[in-house]
Amino acid sequence: MIEVNLGGSASTARSFLPRLLSTRGQYFRSASLASVGTAPMMSVYCASKAGVESLSHSLRAELAPHRVGAGIA
């Protein structure tokens, strides 16, 4: 689950970053309310979505000088 949710988000961002920089596009990821809460028997899912949210916040800060947006849905 970590590899799919967090690793997949990082790989997707890395793949599309050159195109986003050239077009000043937007990069949005799907997170979950589980990223800020807890649920029984869902610890790995919650952690993976928290990682996706943190990745998106970091990308927003890193890409802002290049006029590329990053956000979370």
Domain residue extents for the chain: 2-72
How many Cα atoms occupy the beta-carbon half-sphere of 34 within 13 Å?
17
- Residue pLDDT, tens place only, 2-59: 999 999 999 999 999 999 999 999 998 888 888 887 888 999 999 999 999 999 999 9
Yes or no: say if 69 and 27 are a contact pair by the CB < 8 Å rule. Answer: yes
Reported pTM: 0.85
Cα–Cα distance, 40 to 38 (Å, whole number): 7
